[in-house]
């Protein structure tokens, strides 16, 4: 613990030397909990203070250059376009764990990312991150009287196919943004409804992951309901975990109980908030934001290559790139 405290102190000292605008954007990142934020960047760089400092400074510069501090003032309009993004980029807040940690559900297998440009999907993803960090986490921190700075993610693999390779570019762009600018924000990843294709890939990817990342990933049986009910109430379970064979992520966009849908209270609240901020700034205009995607970490690039190679191998074994689409 003494070594950790010393690393935090050193990193804080280095951060003191950055320009005032970077210090200002750092306030939006830490939300009153700078130590917890410095710890996240240190963990992401295996406690190398200089590497963590470079990572944090790069991230703050990225925020400045891409106006991330004002991204919650830039709605995706018209609303029909945003609805089609929500129908094809499946993510939502399903509730909270018994300890007050936000639970985000992600429909990995059925997200198609095919109804808008990459820029819109990246913009939407960052807006959810920023809303989580600037509003949801501070609210639960206040409620529970202790810093809550991370979330839980439940990843639904229903419908995962070899054709998911076509979405690899956009998925990689989004995960690079997260890895380099929102490190260590996810406490645990729960994988549910995993088909054979996931198991085959996981076998080859798992040894390549850092140990701290491996420890965070839990592959649950079936829809994972019983295990998840140990850490959250039924009302916080993502809709695809509520019963086996419930059609999982397949949804009608009008279902307010479906946390991916624009009609769900979380997305309604988020969209209304962004529109309100824009009206206050008189900024509403159409068109996506062009957020620069940071350069991928070489280690992560290697993992993506392995996944692609494994997908190709499975495709060859099954006679075509879509050979196990039903798996």
User: Which whole number is the average pLDDT over 64-72?
Assistant: 95
Q: Is residue 201 scored above 90 in pLDDT?
A: no
Residue 306: which pLDDT band, with cuts at 50, 70 and 90?
confident
What's the pLDDT score for residue 199? 87
Domain membership of residue 313 (yes or no) is no
Q: Is residue 317 scored above 80 in pLDDT?
A: no
Domain membership of residue 285 (yes or no) is no
What's the pLDDT score for residue 279? 85
Residues 25 and 167 in one domain: no
pLDDT tens by residue, 116-175: 999 999 999 999 999 999 999 999 999 999 999 999 999 999 998 877 677 888 998 999
- CA 180 and chain centroid, separation: 12
What's the pLDDT score for residue 286? 62
93: left (phi over 0), alpha (psi -120 to 50) or beta: beta
What's the pLDDT score for residue 75? 94
More confident residue, 51 or 312: 51
Considering the entire predicted model, what is its pTM?
0.90
Q: Is residue 114 scored above 70 in pLDDT?
A: yes
Domain membership of residue 324 (yes or no) is no
Domain membership of residue 58 (yes or no) is yes
Domain limits at 55?
A: 1-66
Q: Which of 49, 66, 83 is the last residue of a domain?
A: 66
What residues are paired with 156 via a beta bridge?
Answer: 107, 192
User: Which whole number is the average pLDDT over 3-9?
Assistant: 94
Q: Which of 31, 66, 101 is the last residue of a domain?
A: 66
In angstroms, the CA 310 to CA 222 distance is 23
What's the pLDDT score for residue 318? 65
Q: Is residue 249 scored above 60 in pLDDT?
A: no
Write the CATH number for 222: 3.40.525.10
Q: Is residue 95 scored above 50 in pLDDT?
A: yes
What's the pLDDT score for residue 251? 47
In angstroms, the CA 317 to CA 324 distance is 9
- CA 130, 190, 159 angle in degrees (round to 5)? 95
% of the chain with per-residue pLDDT over 90: 69
In angstroms, the CA 39 to CA 56 distance is 11
Residues 218 and 115 in one domain: yes
* Phi, psi of 228, deg, nearest 5: -70, -30
For the chain, the domain total comes to 2
Residues 44 and 183 in one domain: no
Beta carbons of 60 and 20 less than 8 angstroms apart: no
Q: Which is it for strands 102-107 and 151-156: parallel, antiparallel or unpaired?
A: parallel
DSSP string, 209-220: S-HHHHHHEEE-
Residues 165 and 234 in one domain: yes
Residues 153 and 217 in one domain: yes
What's the pLDDT score for residue 252? 43
pLDDT tens by residue, 213-228: 999 999 999 999 999 9
* Greatest pairwise CA separation for the chain in angstroms: 58
Burial class (CB in 10 A: 0-12, 13-18, 19+), 229: middle
More confident residue, 299 or 35: 35
Residues 37 and 142 in one domain: no
Q: Is residue 323 scored above 70 in pLDDT?
A: no
Q: Is residue 58 scored above 50 in pLDDT?
A: yes
Domain membership of residue 312 (yes or no) is no
DSSP string, 218-237: EE-STT-HHHHTTTB-GGGS
What residues are paired with 186 via a beta bridge?
Answer: 151
% of the chain with per-residue pLDDT over 70: 90
- Spatial strand order in the sheet of 91-96: 91-96, 102-107, 151-156, 186-192, 217-219
What's the pLDDT score for residue 320? 47
* Strands, E assignment, 193-283: 217-219
In angstroms, the CA 234 to CA 253 distance is 22
- CA 301 and chain centroid, separation: 18
Closest CA to 271 of 85, 98, 117, 90: 85
Closest CA to 171 of 67, 73, 311: 311
Residues 37 and 109 in one domain: no
Residue 253: which pLDDT band, with cuts at 50, 70 and 90?
very low
Residues 46 and 79 in one domain: no
- Look over the chain and give the mean of its residue pLDDT values, rounded to a whole number: 89
What residues are paired with 103 via a beta bridge?
Answer: 95, 152
């Amino acid at each position: 613990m003494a070594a950790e405290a010393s690393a935090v102190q050193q990193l804080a000292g280095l951060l003191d030397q950055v320009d005032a605008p970077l210090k200002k954007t750092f306030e939006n990142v830490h939300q009153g909990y700078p130590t917890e934020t410095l710890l996240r960047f240190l963990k992401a760089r295996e406690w190398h203070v200089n590497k963590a400092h470079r990572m944090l400074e790069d991230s703050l510069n990225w925020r400045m250059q891409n106006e991330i501090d004002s991204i919650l003032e830039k709605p995706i309009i018209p609303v029909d376009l945003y609805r089609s993004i929500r129908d094809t980029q499946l993510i939502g807040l399903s509730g909270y764990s018994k300890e007050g940690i936000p639970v985000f559900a992600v429909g990995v297998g059925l997200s198609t990312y095919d109804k808008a440009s990459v820029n819109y999907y990246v913009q939407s993803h960052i807006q959810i991150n920023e809303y989580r960090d600037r509003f949801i986490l501070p609210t639960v921190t206040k409620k529970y009287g202790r810093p809550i700075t991370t979330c839980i993610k439940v990843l639904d693999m229903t419908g995962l196919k070899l054709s998911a390779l076509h979405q690899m570019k956009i998925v990689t762009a989004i995960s690079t943004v997260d890895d380099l600018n929102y490190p260590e924000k996810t406490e645990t990843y729960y994988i549910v409804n995993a088909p054979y294709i996931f198991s085959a890939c996981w076998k080859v990817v798992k040894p390549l992951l850092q140990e701290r990342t491996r420890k965070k990933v839990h592959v649950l049986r079936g829809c994972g309901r019983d295990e998840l009910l140990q850490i959250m109430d039924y009302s916080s379970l993502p809709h695809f975990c509520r019963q086996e064979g419930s059609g999982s992520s397949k949804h009608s966009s009008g279902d307010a109980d479906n946390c991916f849908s624009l009609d769900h209270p979380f997305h309604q609240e988020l969209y209304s908030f962004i529109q309100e901020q824009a009206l206050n700034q008189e900024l509403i205009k159409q068109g996506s934001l062009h957020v620069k995607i940071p350069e991928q970490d070489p280690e992560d690039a290697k993992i993506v290559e392995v996944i692609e190679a494994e997908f190709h191998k499975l495709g060859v074994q099954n006679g075509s790139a879509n050979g196990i689409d039903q798996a």
